[in-house]
Structure 1
Amino acid sequence: MARHDRDDYVTINVQNIRVDLYDQFTKQTTATNENYNITYDYGSIMNYDGRAFVLSACADVWATVLTTPHFSGSYNGEYVIVPNDVIYQETLGSPFLAFYDILMMNTHYKCL
């Protein structure tokens, strides 16, 4: 599930996503998602890289994609996620918690 404001920051090219993985790109609503006025973080652990879940005609590639974190599964070279500010394209996602990931958790659990 994605932040309710995701589309303000990125475009999802659904034509490049396998049908059985569409649910990975479902957005929350303002009623089910609280962002605590914390900015969208392109480098968040919660953000997929730009080519995650790209359609592939090659089953071997998908076996690798689904078992390797942040593996670029691009068979056709097209992006699934495109930041509205393209300078962030190659920095989408991370295998590590980002500053804003930690800030959001601390805010949610009132640890500040």
Structure 2
Amino acid sequence: TQRLPQLVGKGRAMEMIMTAGMIDAETAKSYGLVNHVVPQAELLEFTKGIASKIMRNSPSAIGKAIKAVNANYKHDVDGFDVEIRNFGKCFGTEDFKEGTAAFLEKRKASFSGK
């Protein structure tokens, strides 16, 4: 009753809650409840592809981004403040230096994970 209206809008949430109706995968995708719909046979390979893309990025930046997004869902926490502080913490790290160097040298970055 609290998160669903935030995700799909009040009208859709009320209908889903009051009717206890089921929705199919494509509807869930169109409502923004899921990011992707793939056949089960392709699911593992698809998710490995997403994981591979994430792993190409700075582990420290990914961790800070997760904390910033999650802060928005905590009571009495200013998500924007968490975002700003975490963004600032990324500067000066080895990952930042590697990412900047890779960009300037037109190559893929190789992050250490530290």
TM-score, normalised to structure 2, is: 0.24
* Bigger strand share: 1
Greater RCO structure (CA 8 Å; 6+ sep): 1
* Bigger helix share: 2
Structure whose CA Rg is larger = 2
TM-score, normalised to structure 1, is: 0.24
